[in-house]
Chains A and B, each alone.
Chain A
Amino acid sequence: SQELEQSPQSLIVQEGKNLTINCTSSKTLYGLYWYKQKYGEGLIFLMMLQKGGEEKSHEKITAKLDEKKQQSSLHITASQPSHAGIYLCGADMNRDDKIIFGKGTRLHILP
């Protein structure tokens, strides 16, 4: 069974619109990581969240971790073509260096 569920699996959004991607676990997360991947390339680290209720922003991307530390959301405001790609959430579930990844959300931005 998948320990980390991402939704939606894919998303098509008109340029300029806002969007949200979710990442849910049945276990408490000790660290939550958001990465972005472009086709044929490696994963680029976006943000890391550790504390319940924590929120971080970078440019037009905001990530939040809920108080129970079991769900995170990634919100993009006024989407641009450069935001297109695969977004993956990863989680530290055992307080070690292992990260379990969700299957990713494929984001397409329509001009």
Chain B
Amino acid sequence: DAGVIQSPRHEVTEMGQEVTLRCKPISGHNSLFWYRQTMMRGLELLIYFNNNVPIDDSGMPEDRFSAKMPNASFSTLKIQPSEPRDSAVYFCASIMGQGAPGNQPQHFGDGTRLSIL
């Protein structure tokens, strides 16, 4: 079975450029999560969607960050303009949540390693 698919795996760009990260959740999963991982702050939840609707975006650091989920099989996280402090590994995870029986573990993609020069 295909897991959560993220692209690109690595991204190196200069500050000020727009960065778009992509995620395809596991088919049938209806909740999707974007995380950022750094050495200093660990794994932080940025935003999550349920049935394509943003439920909680309180973790989004600034207006430079935006996320969309136009359909059940695709989501993007965009940073515009990017800054060196945005350098991190960004993970996407999905779950059959909100109404599914019992708690379910989140399934993670392999992440996008982002470096802003």
Contact = CB atoms under 8 A, between A and B. Distances in A.
Contacts, number: 52
Residue from the set A31, A90, A98 with the largest chain B CB neighbour count within 10 Å: A98
Contacts of A99: 33, 45, 106
Main SS of the interface on chain B? strand
A97 B45 contact: no
Interface string B82-96: 000000000101010
B98 A43 contact: no
Contacts of A42: 4, 91, 108-111
A92 B98 CA distance: 13
Interface residues of A, number: 24
Interface stretch (A15-23, A74-82, A101-109): A101-109
B50 A97 contact: yes
30 contacts: A31-B103, A33-B106, A40-B113, A41-B110, A41-B111, A42-B4, A42-B91, A42-B110, A43-B93, A43-B108, A45-B105, A45-B106, A48-B103, A48-B105, A50-B102, A50-B103, A88-B42, A88-B43, A90-B106, A96-B98, A97-B48, A97-B97, A97-B98, A99-B106, A101-B42, A101-B43, A103-B41, A103-B42, A103-B43, A104-B42
Interface of A: 30-31, 33, 35, 40-45, 48, 50, 88, 90, 92, 96-104
Interface of B: 4, 31, 33, 41-43, 45, 48, 50, 56, 91, 93, 95, 97-98, 102-103, 105-111, 113
